[in-house]
Amino acid sequence: MYRSMGKAYVLFFLILLLINVGCDKNDNGDGIQKVERFGEGTPAVPNAVTYDLNADSVDDFQVDYDLGIWDGANESGFLVLGVLESIDESAALIKVNEGIDTEILFNRPNDTIWREPMEPFKWNESGQVHITEIWQGGDGIWSEEWTVNSEFNSNPYYLGVRVKENEDFLVGWIKLEIDKTNGKIKFERYRLTADEFIIIPE
């Protein structure tokens, strides 16, 4: 319920000012950081993590957290988005329904991920996909849990990816565990290949 409300705000009241929270974080030692300047009750935010999935010394993705502001008709609030940023032409697989609505985290075991995906699937070219989020209501109260940007409700989640290697791409998948209590996005397992496709195992 809350998630769909959140989407409506993003789509229809779009005054979304994203500020990278990196400079406002204070690490308390367990990988969760607090955004200090927005005062009491602002959720703790996990550290950014960078991944070099094919171990070629070139980073491929970064999981990071952005602070946003939503502005509705008569109310407004903050939100924090957990995002996966592409580095060096790496990309996440998205599904574009009727050319408009974009889905991520739709893959499951036994799915085939193609190096050259066919419609409605494509590699995300915007540089960032939105994995999880937590919202502050117009009453100032934050949601108790993070929501995951997926049609599925529980861990694990799967994401098709491509990763740049030399002048070519590898295709693969990442199995993610997302902690809804603190927004942590963990790469539990991943696999890449130079083949034309890869199948996500059971």
**Chain residues in the site for Ca ion (CB under 5 A):** 52, 54, 56, 58, 60
- Closest to Ca ion by CB, 62 vs 143, is 62
CA torsion sign for 183, 189, 195, 200 is: negative
Closest approach, Cβ 194 to Ca ion, in A, equals 13
Helix H or strand E segment including 5: helix 2-12
Alpha-carbon distance of 15 to 182, in angstroms, equals: 25
- Closest to Ca ion by CB, 86 vs 132, is 86
- Decide if 71 contacts 145 (C-beta within 8 A): no
Task: Using DSSP, state whether 78 is helix, strand or coil.
Answer: strand
Closest approach, Cβ 91 to Ca ion, in A, equals 13
Closest approach, Cβ 62 to Ca ion, in A, equals 12
Parallel, antiparallel or unpaired: strands 91-97 and 101-103:
antiparallel
Alpha-carbon distance of 114 to 174, in angstroms, equals: 14
- Closest to Ca ion by CB, 54 vs 124, is 54
- Closest to Ca ion by CB, 75 vs 88, is 88
Contacts with 61 (C-beta within 8 Å, 6 or more apart), sequence order:
50, 51, 53, 84, 85, 86, 87, 90, 161
State the DSSP code for 116.
S
Closest approach, Cβ 122 to Ca ion, in A, equals 21
- Closest to Ca ion by CB, 65 vs 169, is 169
Closest approach, Cβ 161 to Ca ion, in A, equals 11
